[in-house]
Structure 1
Amino acid sequence: MQTYFNELADHMQSLTRGGEVTTAWLAAEQSDFVRFNKSALRQAMNVRQIAVTLGLIADGRRIELRSSLSGDAAPDKARLAAMFGRLRDELPQVPPDPYLLIASEVNATEHRVVSTLPDPGQVIERVLAAGKGRDLVGLYAAGPIMRGFANSLGQRNWHEVASFELGWSFYHRADKAVKSSYAGTVWNDAVFDAKVTLAAEQLARLAEPAKSLQPGRYRAYFTPTAMNEFLGALAWGGFGTKLQRTRQSALMRLHDGAVTLSPAITCFENVADAMAPSFQADGFVKPPRVMLIERGVAVDTLTSPRTAREYGIASNAANAEEMPDSLELAPGSLAMDDALAALDCGLYIGNLWYLNYSDRQACRLTGMTRFASFWVENGRIVAPLQVMRFDDSIYRIFGANLLALTCEQELVPDGDTYEARSTRSVRTPGALVSDFALTL
């Protein structure tokens, strides 16, 4: 695929006229999708797709056009030529872009993780065995994801990583289920078996009478999956420079220095160890790490090329949305095996659902507990919880109320498969907090 892309890039360069800069962004995948329901294989398919976004820049104007490709160089070169013809016809109708910033410094990169993924048949056997005697529903997606960038200045960037994600639930009845996931670049049977064992134990607990709680404040342990929901909400409008400059950031008080988080909170964009590419769609190459919060204090924000041009500041090659692609929360010192003992009495929250901001300026979030959340006494799970709504501020949860983070982290990928598999992910530990506010 890389050779094919380079051939297209060279052809694009040959089509470029004087005074023009042309760009190409390629997104491709070859993915196996396997769907399970009632512990049976219901659908299996392979998807191979290639899409290219061509950009034409001239006279301070920029225009783009996206198209699917066949993977055959000869007809795809003809398609590129036709696309550039259309772009040249339409470019004069586009107004000059005052915030246009071109990646004029050639910075070539190549990152490739050779696939060690098991044959899909092996995974299917493991999943069906895990679901024997239970009602398992889930989706397995795996295979190489490719991203490429090229411009007429001679820059070439390539990213190829073979990864997998398995998300599944053991269903009990009504709204009762245990939701679990396993993802990465190397499949490990022992890790998967441990997750299945934990989910099966929790499924047995769901059959017991549920405990109803009164609104109030409780000690709580959040699994990495639940923590991913908090971090995902922060990624949506918390770390971008544009929102910070226009004072719309959910973390505005943290950026202003009016509040700090717990010294245990260190959060950064970790491109070096990510499934996402180290370059973005305009060709700007990201630094290996962007420190966002260090020991509870805001350090930096994600700055796209357009925002950099608008405010006359340096860009750190953030995407257009200025959202993290590979957010990581540094681990703590609490072993996951000791989490229930450290919790002692309170909430074990396996998943959170329907998160949204109830007060964006106060970084206050509301949402629901769901999918295998339990009441714990004396360090032991004693009953499943009825679904509860919470409403609390990140400044409290990750601030004075944070008691500990686990020393183990989990990779939680973005399961979005609309149009294509996502390369975004979060790596996070679990967290033990006090005074978590349940409202109803």
Structure 2
Amino acid sequence: MQEYFYELAEFATSQLRGEEVYTCSFWAEDSDFVRFNGSRVRQAGNTKQSSITLDLIEGRRHCRGELTLAGDVQVDRVRLARMLENLREQRAYLPEDPFLLYAIEIRSSERTQPHRLPEPDDVLAQIMKAGEGRDLVGIYAAGGMHSGFANSLGQRNWHSSFSYNLDWSFYHTSDKAVKSSYAGFEWRPAAFEEKARKAKDQLVLLTHPAHTISTGRYSVFLAPTALYEIIDMLSWGGFGVRAHRTKTTPLLRMIEDGVQLHPMVHIQENTHDGIAPDFQDSGFIRPGKVSLIHEGRHRDYLVSPRSAVEYGIPTNGATDAESPLSLEVSPGDLPQEEVLRQLGTGIYISNLWYLNYSDRSACRTTGMTRFATFWVENGVIQAPLNVMRFDETVYRMLGENLEGLTRERELILDPRSYGRRSNHSTCVPGALIRDFRLTL
């Protein structure tokens, strides 16, 4: 696959005219997908696909096209040559791009992560066993994802990763279910069994009569999957330099007014340990880590090549969207087994849903509790909690009202597969928070 891409890149170079240059990105996957419902396999299949995206450049004019590959070198050469001709014709009608920037320093690289994925039959057997006597619903996706970069200057980059992601629920009735996920690079049966055991215990608790509370402020514990939703919201323009300079970032008060999060909060883009490649579509190399928030204070931005030109600062290989791909929140010192005792009386929230900004410039978010959310008294879960709406600022949740982050973290892989499997990942702890505001 790697050599096939490089062969097409050499062919593209041979087709250039005059002062033309190109940048070219490659993407491919070989993924197994299994859909469960009622603890049965309802759909199973495998997807093998690959494509290239090529930007044909002359001076400051450029035009981009995408080509799904057939896997036959003769067929793909003909189609690639035709695409180059089409791009060349279209480019003649386009204006110059004042923010065009691509790598001219050749920095080739190759990184292939170990392939430790299990046999699908072994995984399915364990999943089916966990669902015996219950309504297990979900999707299992696993396999290799491959990324490449080439340009006509001679740079070549390659990245392969192999991961699995089980996004699943034990459904009880109505709006009551226990949602969970298990993702990683090497399937560990004991770890999955422990996750399934905890989910089964919560499923039993969901059979108890639901508890209703009034609006107000409560102590809460956000499980890693719940805190992930908050952190994912911050990724919507929270860390890119363009959003900061145009004052559309939800972290505006942190940048302009010096508002801080709790000193225990450290957020970074950790490309080294993620599943996304360490290079981007214009050929720039991403550093292993970029510290975004350090000790509760803003530290650095994600800077795309276009923003680098516009604002006169160096790029650090961010995407055009300047959103993180491999986000990481540092752990705290709260042991997971101490969470309920430290919570005392309050709410254990496993998941948050339907999040949005109620006041973007103030970093105020609103959303709903859902699924396995429980009322806790004196460190003991008493009953499932009926759905509630929250409205709270990140500055309070992860700032003045943050009481602790768990020592243990969870790796969450983005389960989206619209067109292709996502290579976004987040590693996040749970959070103990006081005075969390429920509004409805």
* Category of TM-score, reference length = shorter chain: over 0.9
Whole-Å Cα distance in 2 between the matches of residues 428 and 71 of structure 1? Answer: 39
SS at match of 2:273: coil
Whole-Å Cα distance in 1 between the matches of residues 10 and 67 of structure 2? Answer: 18
Whole-Å Cα distance in 1 between the matches of residues 219 and 122 of structure 2? Answer: 41
Whole-Å Cα distance in 2 between the matches of residues 190 and 72 of structure 1? Answer: 43
Cα shift at 1:4: 1.0
SS at match of 2:407: strand
Q: Which amino acid aligns with 2:164?
A: F
Q: What residue in structure 2 maps to residue 115 of structure 1?
A: 115
Q: How does 1:4-403 map to 2 (within 5 A)?
A: 4-403=4-403
Q: Which amino acid aligns with 1:347?
A: I
1:409 is the counterpart of 2:409: yes
Cα shift at 1:257: 4.2
Whole-Å Cα distance in 1 between the matches of residues 231 and 111 of structure 2? Answer: 27
Q: Which amino acid aligns with 2:145?
A: I
SS at match of 2:339: helix
Cα shift at 1:256: 1.9
Higher mean displacement: 273-282 or 67-76: 67-76
Cα shift at 1:24: 1.2
Q: TM-score, normalised by structure 2?
A: 0.99
SS at match of 1:348: strand
Q: Which amino acid aligns with 1:371?
A: F
Cα shift at 1:16: 2.0
Structure 2 residue runs without a partner (length 5+): none
Whole-Å Cα distance in 2 between the matches of residues 371 and 107 of structure 1? Answer: 48
8 Å contact kept, 2:23–2:281: no
Cα shift at 1:258: 2.6
Please list the CA deviations of residues 1-55 of structure 1 after superposition, one character each: whole Å capped at 9, or x if unmatched: 1111111111112222231111211111000000010001111100000111111
Q: Which amino acid aligns with 2:77?
A: K
Whole-Å Cα distance in 1 between the matches of residues 173 and 188 of structure 2? Answer: 30
SS at match of 2:265: coil
Structure 1 residue runs without a partner (length 5+): none
Whole-Å Cα distance in 2 between the matches of residues 314 and 213 of structure 1? Answer: 51
Whole-Å Cα distance in 1 between the matches of residues 182 and 423 of structure 2? Answer: 15
Whole-Å Cα distance in 2 between the matches of residues 372 and 102 of structure 1? Answer: 47
SS at match of 2:272: coil
8 Å contact kept, 2:144–2:160: yes
SS at match of 2:92: helix
Whole-Å Cα distance in 2 between the matches of residues 383 and 212 of structure 1? Answer: 10
Cα shift at 1:72: 2.0
Cα shift at 1:378: 1.3
Whole-Å Cα distance in 2 between the matches of residues 335 and 6 of structure 1? Answer: 48
Cα-Cα RMSD: 0.8
Cα shift at 1:97: 0.1
Cα shift at 1:344: 1.1
Q: Which amino acid aligns with 2:400?
A: A
Please list the CA deviations of residues 153-207 of structure 1 after superposition, one character each: whole Å capped at 9, or x if unmatched: 0011111001000011000001110000000111000110000000000000000
Whole-Å Cα distance in 1 between the matches of residues 315 and 253 of structure 2? Answer: 23
Whole-Å Cα distance in 2 between the matches of residues 288 and 393 of structure 1? Answer: 30
SS at match of 1:193: helix
Whole-Å Cα distance in 2 between the matches of residues 255 and 269 of structure 1? Answer: 18
8 Å contact kept, 2:67–2:80: no
Q: What residue in structure 2 maps to residue 423 of structure 1?
A: 423
Q: Which runs of 4+ in 1 moved over 4 A?
A: none
SS at match of 1:136: strand
Whole-Å Cα distance in 2 between the matches of residues 81 and 378 of structure 1? Answer: 70
Q: TM-score, normalised by structure 1?
A: 0.99
Whole-Å Cα distance in 2 between the matches of residues 159 and 202 of structure 1? Answer: 39
Q: Which amino acid aligns with 1:427?
A: C
